[in-house]
Amino acid sequence: MGSIYLDHHATTPVDSRVLAAMKPFLETHYANAGSSHLAGRRIRKHVATAREQVANLLGCGVGEVLFTSGATESNNMAIHGVARRSQCQGKHIITSQIEHSAVLFACQALEKEGFEVTYLPVGKDGIVSPGDIKAAIRTGEEGTTDRTVLVSIMGANNEIGTIQPIKEISKICNEASVVFHVDAAQYIGKIPVNVKELGADLMSFSGHKMYAPKGVGGFYFNSASKRMPCIQPIMHGGGQEGGLRPGTLPVPMVVALGKAAQIASSEQEQHNDKERQLRDWLWSSLRSNIEGLKLNGSIEHRLPGNLNICVSGIDAELLMLRLGNIAVSTGSACSGKSSAPSHVLKALGLSDKEAYASVRMGLGRSTTKEQLEVVIKEFTDSVQKLRKLPSLR
């Protein structure tokens, strides 16, 4: 068997139907969507179709979807855009300790501009407590750090796959009139989502996590929300996407995202069922083969394709090397180069040693039982061999 890809949280392959849909827009339909000639008008129809496909996946109106380059940009747009627009109301932001760096670093940048940020802890299960959010919301003097203007909590975690209680958090933010943003990069396109039922004001999502290419994503904003101030644009230019995300629309990428959203709308549940069954089987097989395995985060509130386990007595980097053609990971792809232990695992209460011994596996649409049989065998053999070596950390 060739290589086995178990890193679908880092990125997913482009679906062949998505590739086929975008190809004409690279080859022949290359007019600028902003042009007023016939070719430009024709392109605009395809952009409108893509927006409709994404809106259908989200359960929102077409006017509530903006295209961006991905979730990093959408997160920055939301956090900086709301903070700048609302600073005369307040300068306090709430987020969690297990957010992606695109949220954490955007918040840290605002701290340098005089905002105060509360980084809420999570339980051992990797879930943020809605009660903690309620207690952290400040209603003090306007224009100061005594008043909260934004809560930003991820939909699902990229390392441990835990799914946050978004609906409950929305309710709390609604009651307190605080804007609620969700980093939904690992959530939208991975599990069924209806943004209106969830009730958040803003959500960021990413194409390459849902079988579209890297470099495209989007942003949902609830046009009916009373607590939503306008977002101040963080970029300036030609006025595309309502002036919030100026720049020539990357039409092939937008068409690809639309197609990926359409596929996710119709196939997601079936893929989820298969991934969940395979993941549960993988977990029970590994547990019966290897002693001293511990699951990081809740099994119940978890993405169907995610497994993140601590393998006592090994170094996960060495395990990855031994696994060779089996692509698993030791944390998020973004902090993969850092030698620091995962901030997510540390927030769950793991020691450095336990964090360094943890491995993430992300199953996807093309994962098969035959592949996992190989993974179970190789994983078991490698752990047994590594446990015989003296510890390096």
Ligand X SMILES: Cc1ncc(COP(=O)(O)O)c(C=O)c1O
Exposed/middle/buried for 357, CB within 10 Å: 0-12, 13-18, 19+? buried
Catalytic residues: 334
Note whether 12 binds ligand X by CB under 6 A: no
- Chain positions 94 to 133 lying near ligand X, rule: CB under 6 A, are 100, 102
To ligand X, the closest distance from the beta carbon of 284 in angstroms equals: 27
Nearest partner of 194 among 357, 56, 66, judged by Cα: 56
Near ligand X by CB under 6 A: residue from 53, 86, 206, 296: 206
Q: Which of 76, 96, 186, 262 binds ligand X (CB under 6 A)?
A: 186
Cβ 364 to ligand X shortest distance, Å: 14
Asked whether position 375 contacts ligand X by CB under 6 A, the answer is: no
Helices (H), 177-301: 195-198, 251-289
CA separation for the pair 186, 160 (Å, rounded):
11
Nearest-angstrom CA–CA distance, 328 and 331: 9
Cβ neighbours for 257, distance < 8 A, ≥ 6 positions apart:
50, 54, 67, 207, 212, 216, 217, 218
3-state secondary structure of 260: helix
Distances (CA, A) of 365 to 4, 8, 177: 13, 9, 39
Q: Tokens for 136?
A: 């952290």
CB of 136 to ligand X, least distance (A): 21
Identified binder of ligand X from the candidate list 183, 241, 275, 315, rule CB under 6 A = 183
Q: Give the shortest CB-109-to-ligand X separation in angstroms.
A: 16
Residue span 304-343 as binding mask against ligand X, x where in contact by CB under 6 A, dash where not: ------------------------------x---------
Among 15, 55, 70, 323, binds ligand X (CB under 6 A): 70
Instruction: Using CB under 6 A, pick the residue from 33, 120, 179, 185 that binds ligand X.
Output: 185
Q: Applying CB under 6 A, which residues contact ligand X? A: 70-72, 100, 102, 154, 158, 183, 185-186, 206, 217, 334
